[in-house]
Amino acid sequence: MTATGKPAAAASLRGGPRRGRVRSGTRRGVPLPLLLPALLGLAFLLLPLLALVVRAPWSTLPDQLTSTEVWQALRLSLLCATCATLVSLVLGVPLAWVLARTDFPGRGLVRALVTLPLVLPPVVGGVALLLALGRNGVVGQWLDDWFGVTLPFTTAGVVVAEAFVAMPFLVISVEGTLRAADPRYEEAATTLGASRFTAFRRVTLPLIAPGVAAGAVLAWARALGEFGATITFAGNFPGRTQTMPLSVYLAMQSNPEAAIALSLVLLAVSIAVLAGLRDRWMTAS
Amino acid sequence: MTTRSARRTRRTLQVAGAGAAALLALSACSSSDSDKDTSSGTSASASPKLSGTVTVFAAASLQGSFETLGKQFEKEHPGTKVTFSFGGSDTLAANITGGAPADVFAAASPKTMAIVTDKGDAAGTPETFVRNQLEIATLPGNPDKVTSLKDLTGPGLKVVLCDKTVPCGAAAQKTLEASKLKLTPVSYEQDVKAALNKVVLKEADAAVVYKTDVKAAGDKVEGVEFPESSSAINDYPITLVKNAPNPAAAKAFIALVRSADGQKVLTSAGFLKP
Amino acid sequence: MTDTDRTTPGPVPGPGGDGGLDARLVVERDAFRLDVTLTAAPGEVLALLGPNGAGKTTALRALAGLVALSDGHLRLDGAELDRTPPESRPVGVVFQDYLLFPHLTALDNVAFGPRCQGASKSAARERAAGWLERMGLAEHANAKPRRLSGGQAQRVALARALATRPRLLLLDEPLAALDARTRLDVRAQLRRHLAEFEAVAVLVTHDPLDAMVLADRLVVIEDGAVVQEGAPSDIARRPRTDYIAQLVGLNLFRGHADGHTVRLGDGPTVDVTVTELLAGDVFVAFPPSAVTLYRERPAGVSARNLWRCEVAGLETHGDLIRADLTGELPLAADLTTVSAAELDLRPGATVWASVKASQTHAYPA
């Protein structure tokens, strides 16, 4: 990406499978009315990040980052985002399958409800989670009475909050892939003696793997940056529920330089993980 | 050749048009309130006739009392309008140093006020107009029988504090240190309202918050005063902002806050006199 | 990764139950109604032939259990299958575009069925390798489907269907996805494999040649109903609908016979003289090549079986030219390029068409 400069970067930003790697013909033909807004859009997205890098307190950065709290928060963030992604996968993929492959009254409504956490302000999501799963919540009081489980103020609570916000991304992505996939492969599998579940597991799931992976990455990224629902539902305690975004927000109150330093760490880790995963999938398929 | 250059011109125009449209869309979205200052020039009466809008940036804990005072101010000075921006003191301070058009800044701690004064954005020296004291908020009826700060350190009790970076958290920390108590909360909340809400929602058993917050929450929580709170009483400073768009009205508003009338409103909300 | 949800073994044939297929398939959907009765003995290859939309594929899917029956019954080797879910039916399907699982190798595609039936991974693979060997695909065992040619993919699909040891093999347009050259080879191979298959095979096709070559018996379906069934040669010689007649390339007319004369149609009366001696409703069929065309009314030809027609269209048909005629009798006539040129045939031209009685074939309707 760096060697060939801008055109290559623009090409890789088009996304999608990068099979025909060199297509000079199409590159030459990007119409100006598309190219200019595209470049403006790119600048709009990258400029704030660039400013963060430019204005970062590089001289004091080593000191800012040596505190154990930073690494504690980072470790917790990665752990919770990964767990939330796993939870989303386990619950979200079957949900996507049901939405894509079955027909029941009110399916449109259900699909709309599934996407609700996307538009709900995360803080409201956190309050809603408290009302549902909190110590006094609609379901939470039973969890407490029967199992002695309380989710607020625990690391599990962070995972719940992040999964709540991130799962819709996964469901939407997987459902779209499922709709595009040919359902007759499942039929072929059943004629070979596979139950519908075996057909799903051994045929459909491998076929939609790229879509599931893309959805998981989206969900992971969303979970990693989650702030509002987490701080509202799980609170803020270093090492237990204080993830990077919380730590950045609170540092911003007293020490903006530390906040910028923390953000840079989060950025760097995200870029490394996302870029690494993406390349791996592209070559794998 | 000519057709080609003509086409290119047209294309450039299209692009420029698209860009302009985007800019227009942006500017349309940013609501303009620049036409608020319709300064009528008549100053006939003895005291200078006040007019226009006073913009007050105030700590979130001041919301109820200041809104009452704002209405009173508008009644006393017909033709004026008081608009508020309530929020965390540190955020407001950052807004002001960033050039926000505020007339008055009322902070919840000298430390956050210092952000503004250090940048030279305050006109004159800030003065303390009220003080706020910490109080323990417990569940209604105080089922855990909390009577002192020490009771909060007991096992099995879910306590939330404000984060050390916000004034109520700093004050709580100071109090705990002064009384040599070690308290491990379940969470350090991002602001005092969040801490209080955890008790209102019964997720936490107790929170250390301001007296004013307990009062504002009504019967949803029960307040428990504790003697140690006197070691960390928060001063609330108020100041005129240096580049205030409407300094005359701003000064009048500050005067109202500091007047006997103003103090009555504030103390009824739970604030202490300075 | 053992399959916890392995299929229960297919229904056991009833004691002394007659083997083979015995089905009446009724499927109602929207305005369409399929109602066909199919029977076949073990080892028999049945071809469902019919135009697009006739219901052939629906019938096949009903046999596989992918479409529920609205009415009727389905017995295979004496066992009732109506309510058996597709995964529990001893049925193998070769789909039109094969539907090989793209993420699995040829070997694993074939091993999929045995695995689902509970075989261990190694046993399933061994069985699959055996099938690929029989299909002459041993060296392609580890190829992914997208690296296989059309013919190879078809054989992998066949191996995959056969590897479950079905008692009923279903093939949906098994040759339709192939180009003409491959088709010839694959058809011959498929014929060999079907001949070896000891249970019932049902194939769906709209290509009469595939049906004639591969099947022991044809069932012609139009508009959801069986219009004719029988041995391929019989159907080719004695078509009973325009669709079949067109498929097998015959002129077909229905009429009323009285001795050697058949009176056709309800419009202006046209008589055809035939060699058979019949009475009652009959069909008369003759190939387009039996038709002779004249520009002028021929003098030396008897007036029997001579009709005045008009050329509606011309098209090349292999080495020949096929003339589409309207007029007293709508006919297709084949003639050589040379005769077409000599006759100066062009659309709109008037011609006289004649057919020798000895070249017609009449049979009871």
Contact status, residue B104 vs residue B55, Cβ threshold 8 Å: yes
Q: Is the pLDDT of residue C272 over 50?
A: yes
Assigned domain for B106 exists: yes
The two three-digit tokens of residue C302, written as one number: 């008897």
CA atoms within 13 A on the CB side of A219: 37
Chains A & B: contacts with CB separation below 8 Å: 78
Q: Is A125 within the bounds of a domain?
A: yes
- Please check if B89 is assigned to a binding site: yes
Q: Is residue C165 part of a domain?
A: yes
C8 secondary structure, DSSP code: P
- The answer to whether residues B126 and B163 belong to one domain is no
Q: Judge: B188–A235 Cβ closer than 8 Å, yes or no.
A: yes
Among C202, C237, C272, the domain boundary falls at: C237
Statement to judge: residues B192 and B123 lie in one domain = no
Which helix (H) or strand (E) covers residue C334, if one does? strand C331-336
Q: Looking at the structure, do residues C202 and C274 belong to the same domain, yes or no?
A: no
- Residue B15, chain A, CB below 8 Å: the answer is yes
Residue C242 domain flag: no
Domain membership flag for residue B60 = yes
> What does the alpha-carbon distance between residue C327 and residue C307 come to, in Å, rounded to a whole number?
8
Range of the domain at C299: 264-364
Subunits touching A (CB < 8 Å, at least 3 pairs)? B, C
Q: Which residues lie across from C226 on neighbouring strands? A: C221
Q: Where are the beta strands (DSSP E) in C231-327?
A: 251-264, 270-286, 291-294, 306-317, 320-327
Distances (CA, A) of A181 to A17, A56, C304: 16, 46, 63
* B79 shares a domain with B122: yes
Is residue C169 within 8 Å of residue C187, measured between CB atoms? Answer: no
| Same domain (yes/no): B177, B246 | no
Q: Count up the domains in chain B and report the number.
A: 2
- Structural domains of chain C, count: 2
Place of tokens 């069929």: C285
- For residues C63 and C168, membership in a common domain is answered with yes
Q: Based on the fold, state whether residues C207 and C127 are members of the same structural domain.
A: yes
Q: Residues C322-342: pLDDT tens digits?
A: 888 888 888 889 988 888 888
Q: Are residues B139 and B198 in the same domain?
A: yes
Instruction: Specify the range with the lowest mean pLDDT, choosing from A168-172, A183-187, C263-267, C330-334.
Output: C263-267
Task: Closest CB to A191: pick one of C3, C86, C101.
Answer: C86
Cβ pair A191:C101 closer than 8 A: no
Question: Does residue B188 have a known ligand-binding role?
Answer: no
Structure token digits, residue A233: 């539902």
What is the predicted pLDDT for the residue at A91? 96
In a domain, B27, yes or no: no
DSSP string, C13-75: PPTTPPPSEEEEEEEEETTEEEEEEEEE-TT-EEEEE--TTSSHHHHHHHHHTSS--SEEEEE
Write down the number of H helices and E strands in chain C. 9, 18
Q: Give the SS3 label for residue A142.
A: helix
How far is C16 from chain A, CA to nearest CA, in Å? 26
Q: Do A188 and C95 touch (CB under 8 A)?
A: yes
Q: How confident is the model at residue C320 (pLDDT cuts 50, 70, 90)?
A: confident
Q: Which residues of A touch C85 (CB under 8 A)?
A: 190
B203/A153 CB distance under 8 A: yes
Q: What pLDDT is attached to residue C17?
A: 46
Provide, as residue numbers in chain C, all residues whose Cβ is less than 8 Å from the Cβ of A193: 6-7, 87-88, 113, 116-117, 164
User: Is residue B56 assigned to a domain?
Assistant: yes
Q: Which residues in chain B are closer than 8 Å to A134, comparing Cβ atoms? A: 201-203
Could you tell me the CATH number of the domain that includes residue C302?
A: 2.40.50.100
Angstrom distance (rounded) from CA C216 to CA C12 = 27
Six-digit token pair at A255? Answer: 């020490």
Across the range C106-125, mean pLDDT stands at 94
In B, minimum Cα distance to A40 occurs at B19
- The answer to whether C250 and C285 have CB atoms below 8 angstroms apart is yes
Question: How far apart are the C-alpha atoms of C305 and C331, rounded to whole Å?
Answer: 12
Strands of C331-336's sheet in order across: C291-294, C350-355, C306-317, C320-327, C331-336
C3 pLDDT band (50/70/90 cuts)?
Answer: very low
Place of tokens 């192939």: C178
Provide mean pLDDT across the span C170-197: 88
Specify the DSSP class assigned to residue C245. H
pLDDT for the residue numbered A227: 93
For residue B3, being part of any structural domain is answered with no
Rounded to two decimals, the pTM is 0.75
Provide the residue range defining the domain that includes B99.
51-131+236-268
Mean pLDDT, rounded, for A234-245: 91
Note whether B201 contacts A134, CB cutoff 8 Å.
yes
Kindly write down the DSSP assignment for every residue of chain B, as one continuous string.
-HHHHHHHHHHHHHHHHHHHHHHHHHHHHS---GGG--------SSSPPP-EEEEEEEEGGGHHHHHHHHHHHHHHSTTEEEEEEEE-HHHHHHHHHTT---SEEE-SSHHHHHHHHHTT-EEEEEEEEEEE-EEEEESTT-TT---STGGGGSTT--EEEE-TTSHHHHHHHHHHHHTT-----SEEESSHHHHHHHHHTTSSSEEEEEHHHHHHTGGGSEEE--GGGGGGPEEEEEEEETT-SSHHHHHHHHHHHHSHHHHHHHHHTTPBP-
Which DSSP symbol is given to A202? I
Give the residue, A92 or C248, on which the prediction is more confident.
A92
Is B210 marked as binding a ligand?
yes
The answer on C232 and C98 residing in a single domain is yes
Decide if B23 is inside a domain: no
Give the CATH number for residue A117.
1.10.3720.10
A182: chain C residues, CB-CB within 8 Å: 99
Closest Cα in chain A to B21: A37
Q: How many whole angstroms separate alpha carbon A196 and alpha carbon A158?
A: 34
Question: Which chain C residues are Cβ-neighbours of A190 within 8 angstroms?
Answer: 65-66, 85-87
Which residues in chain A have Cβ-Cβ distances shorter than 8 Å to C6?
Answer: 193
For residue A232, list chain B residues with Cβ-Cβ distance below 8 A.
Answer: 194
HSE-CB of B185 using CA atoms within 13 angstroms: 29
- C136 and C203 belong to one structural domain: yes
Q: Which helix (H) or strand (E) holds C331?
A: strand C331-336
**Between A and C, how many residue pairs show a Cβ–Cβ distance under 8 A?**
67
Full residue range of the structural domain in which residue A190 is found: 69-284
d(CA C123, CA C106): 16
Q: Which regions in chain B score pLDDT beneath 70?
A: 1-48
Is A40 touching B (CB cutoff 8 A)?
A: yes
**Looking at this protein, which amino acid is placed at residue B159?**
V
pLDDT above 80 (res A3): no
Q: What is the CATH number of the domain that holds B150?
A: 3.40.190.10
C319 and C178 in a single domain? The answer is no
Given CB atoms, is C162 within the 8 Å cutoff of chain A?
A: no
> How far is C161 from chain A, CA to nearest CA, in Å?
7
d(CA C103, CA B142) in angstroms, rounded, equals: 64
Residues of B (190-249) whose Cβ lies below 8 Å from A: 190, 194, 198, 201-204
Mutation target for A interface from B23, B89, B112, B190: give the one with most A CBs within 10 A. B190
Q: Is residue A112 included in any domain, yes or no?
A: yes
B40 labelled ligand-binding: no
Interior angle at CA A191, CA A188 and CA A197, nearest 5? 80
Band (A283; pLDDT cuts 50, 70, 90): very low
* Residue among A187, A191, A202 minimizing CB distance to C92: A191
Predicted confidence at residue A7, as pLDDT, reads 41
Residues of A in contact with C104 (CB under 8 A): 206
As given in the structure block, the two tokens for residue B92 are 């407001």
Q: Would residue B149 count as lying in a domain?
A: yes
Q: What is the predicted pLDDT for the residue at B109?
A: 87
ipTM of the complex in this document: 0.77
Strands of C101-250, DSSP E: 168-172, 200-205, 217-222, 225-230
Q: Is C252 within a domain?
A: no
Examine the domain organization and report whether C300 and C360 are in the same domain.
yes
- Touching check for C95 and chain A: CB below 8 Å? yes
Q: In what order do the strands lie in the sheet with C45-49?
A: C79-80, C71-76, C21-29, C32-40, C225-230, C217-222, C45-49, C200-205, C168-172, C91-94
| Residues whose CB is less than 8 angstroms from the CB of residue A45 and which lie 6 or more positions away in sequence, other chains included | none
Burial class (CB in 10 A: 0-12, 13-18, 19+), C314: middle
Is residue C113 one of the residues assigned to a domain? Answer: yes
CB A117 within 8 A of CB A125: yes
Could you tell me which chain A residue has the CA closest to the CA of B159?
A: A153
Q: Are residues C62 and C140 in the same domain?
A: yes
Establish whether chain B is in contact with chain C, requiring a minimum of 3 CB pairs below 8 angstroms.
Answer: no
Residue C247 counted as domain residue: no
CA B150 → CA A29, B173, B184, B209, distances in Å?
A: 74, 13, 12, 15
Tell me the mean pLDDT in the region A182-208: 92
- Is C92 within 8 Å of chain A by CB? yes
Question: For residue C266, is pLDDT > 80?
Answer: no
Q: Percent of chain C scored above 90 by pLDDT? A: 40
Whether residue A273 lies inside any domain: the answer is: yes
With CB atoms and an 8 Å threshold, state whether C7 touches A195.
yes
Number of domains in chain A: 1
Kindly state whether residue B2 falls inside one of the protein's structural domains. no
Confidence of residue C176 (pLDDT cuts 50, 70, 90): confident
What is residue C10's predicted lDDT score, i.e. its pLDDT?
41
Helices A244-254 and B89-97 sit at what angle, rounded to 10 degrees? 60
- Do residues A155 and A75 lie in contact, with contact meaning Cβ atoms separated by under 8 Å? no
State whether B190 and A153 contact (CB < 8 Å).
Answer: no
Quick one: pLDDT at residue C5?
40
pLDDT at C274 over 90: no
pLDDT over 70, % of chain C? 93
